[in-house]
Structure 1
């Protein structure tokens, strides 16, 4: 029965709906998995055992009365500890908020609860979501389940680890420059960053308000769609939230005929490890076997746009943390202190110039993507490095050297990472798809079709590195 922990949300949900297993039994199984494997991988800051079992009992009572809230009814989900959870501490991965207990849920968490999801715990993260490694000086580093000496990626590292190891069926993550997709790629799972504004960030501690996204982290693209269907929707309390119906769930594609994917090699393959490149090129061949056409595309102004992202993110984060720095500056990790020094030197003129470059790049990219379903390329271009090898000065550049995720954040376009194979050292590699605005459904469909044809998700069940 423990194999159910590595099944899809859809499969586990059907087992609950048909009463093959109860929400309480599934929650107990998940908690047992956490007790067994958490000491090795450090995926959580807080495990919500009592709260989760209480929720499971309530959902089980509803099930007895033939009340099913939907496909997430009774499904254990982890939440990155930067999202508020009512009555449970929300640290942001920092000692500054170690004692903070919010009196309300974040918007995404509230929607998941209402849909019947059981919040199993608060996942570990890079401090205040400001890093690509999830090496946390306050709560310990999360470990990559394929090699516990390596980073899992970040900043939503704990969320990816919990999902990869059967300690949750999915998780809520945040993504400012790749914090959902990079750890998903490095842990062999799925991460989806929706179009900017599709999912409310209300109740999520901010990093960069014009770049922050919230989204699902799962083991399959279909599961990501199931979670996103619940999480999306307009929220008048989030100024960036869009008043637009964005379809998500849909029938699966049987092939990728008539799908055109754009590939900009000068960016996507810049700085790529040879072994990772081999895996990505194999995934391209599989996409073409499915019927997709991969065509060259130009992305003029990309270097300036990515530099603009750095300026925007670092200046916005300084303004967010300025009040805290005056009182709690000594409690921040060294890599964050380096970020704040960098951001403090950015002038208002430079910030405005960066936003203008961004707008120009978005308009130009939309033109370049006419007739294109999505951009395609690697998620991570380097394997995860060893824990403890990062120095503070690497903090800002890590996301840019490890992967190609920042592109989708400066654009605000939907982006998906799916597992696509392994390096010779048995470390996962992710394939990234970036769609046009509000084509979230299309991106998930393409990813789902590719994923079903290769079945890399099965490898998670067989991975025992994290228990060695």
Structure 2
């Protein structure tokens, strides 16, 4: 019974709870039992809430266990950001997204592991342990929202809240076999979230189904003034599957290659399926993907360094080596270079939006490789050797600009 409960989607669990076929207590206990049994090996959670942090609302998430990335504040619970630097810090207020979840009745299971300060994509964490892939424990989970992806894949929560600046939701979702949804910038409030890059960060979801991501969106998306919209998808009729017939699907060939062979096979099978369902496949070109990657990197490094400048001065040795080096690189970026990257970003974003005069959607693999081994520094992608970070970011980072 416990394994069946811990595998439920948000939608399935909410339907069973509404029908009183299961109780919220037994659903929560099934998730907490998995955390007790598996967290020591998987390192998905930094802080576990033993009896759950229960929301008081009666909305569409009532009784649903959800985990929270540990850069997102939960009132009265430690926020570490996966670092020793914030040791002892306990926020006095909930982040806006946490308030929305609680008002919809969600139960929070704990704060999940991440790449330190969300500044990395492997989730190798020198302070709280390396987050391991639940399907093959000698492989990385991906990051920086790796703990959230693992918590969903391993039955430790029905869904997870993460953040994404260059792929930090989508990459671990891909490597751990769950759904990762990075909404457009600003649709979910970042109030009460420690920033990596304030002009690129987005708050989003890791779930077991696309429908579940839609449910979380319905209670956390804001109206532009920071007020959550509070739509109940069970009553709105918005959860009908989209028909592919007649849709124009863009294939950005100029950034697609190289791909690991297994990724290529699955991607091509998806294209074949879409075509059989009546979609039109159309080749498109992204303008200057190299400039996209460069602009994203400059903006993230400069903004992260700006946020961490005083913390880095006072806690230099408390940062992990990789994050410390990235922050030092950011401190060396001149203001003129940062401003030039923001100008390039606006130009490229305008060109990107123009693609949707020709197509309805873009279709790409999330990552060009499967989950690398924990100790991998470089990977072979076809005939090309790449460092792990570049390989994982390559197909996600353009879409945060």
TM-score over 0.5 for the alignment? yes
Could you tell me how far apart the structure 2 residues matched to 1:219 and 1:267 are? 28
**1:286 aligned to 246, 270, 273, which one?**
273
Q: How does 1:368-387 map to 2 (within 5 A)?
A: 368-387=355-374
Could you tell me how far apart the structure 1 residues matched to 2:337 and 2:388 are? 22
- Equivalent position of 2:243 in the other structure: 255
Q: CA deviation at 1:235?
A: 6.5
Q: CA deviation at 1:13?
A: 0.5
Distance 1:339 1:254, change over 3 A: closer
Normalising by structure 2, we get a TM-score of: 0.92
Could you tell me how far apart the structure 2 residues matched to 1:399 and 1:236 are? 36
Q: State whether residues 100 and 220 of structure 2, in contact with CA within 8 Å, keep that contact through their aligned partners in structure 1.
A: yes
- Equivalent position of 1:314 in the other structure: 301
- Equivalent position of 1:171 in the other structure: 160
Q: Secondary structure at the match of 2:143?
A: coil
Q: State whether residues 288 and 294 of structure 1, in contact with CA within 8 Å, keep that contact through their aligned partners in structure 2.
A: yes
**2:351 aligned to 335, 346, 364, which one?**
364
Q: CA deviation at 1:397?
A: 6.6
Q: How does 1:294-333 map to 2 (within 5 A)?
A: 294-333=281-320
In the alignment, does 2:142 pair up with 1:153? yes
Gapped runs of 5+ residues in structure 1? 60-67, 411-468
Could you tell me how far apart the structure 1 residues matched to 2:34 and 2:42 are? 12
Distance 1:130 1:249, change over 3 A: farther
Q: Secondary structure at the match of 1:307?
A: helix
**1:209 aligned to 198, 203, 206, which one?**
198
Q: Which has the higher contact order (CA 8 A, sep 6+)?
A: 1
Could you tell me how far apart the structure 2 residues matched to 1:253 and 1:112 are? 25
In the alignment, does 2:82 pair up with 1:99? no
- Equivalent position of 1:133 in the other structure: 122
Q: Secondary structure at the match of 1:78?
A: strand
Could you tell me how far apart the structure 1 residues matched to 2:76 and 2:51 are? 12
Q: CA deviation at 1:33?
A: 1.6
In the alignment, does 2:325 pair up with 1:338? yes
**2:102 aligned to 105, 110, 113, which one?**
113
Q: CA deviation at 1:255?
A: 3.1
Q: CA deviation at 1:22?
A: 1.4
- Equivalent position of 1:78 in the other structure: 67
Q: How does 1:176-255 map to 2 (within 5 A)?
A: 176-234=165-223, 236=225, 250-253=238-241, 255=243
Q: Secondary structure at the match of 2:171?
A: helix
Could you tell me how far apart the structure 2 residues matched to 1:18 and 1:98 are? 43
Q: How does 1:27-46 map to 2 (within 5 A)?
A: 27-46=28-47
Q: How does 1:422-433 map to 2 (within 5 A)?
A: none
Matched positions, count: 388
Could you tell me how far apart the structure 1 residues matched to 2:246 and 2:19 are? 38
- Equivalent position of 1:445 in the other structure: none
- Equivalent position of 2:399 in the other structure: 408
Could you tell me how far apart the structure 2 residues matched to 1:116 and 1:242 are? 14
Q: State whether residues 159 and 208 of structure 2, in contact with CA within 8 Å, keep that contact through their aligned partners in structure 1.
A: yes
Q: How does 1:45-60 map to 2 (within 5 A)?
A: 45-52=46-53, 55=54
Distance 1:280 1:12, change over 3 A: same
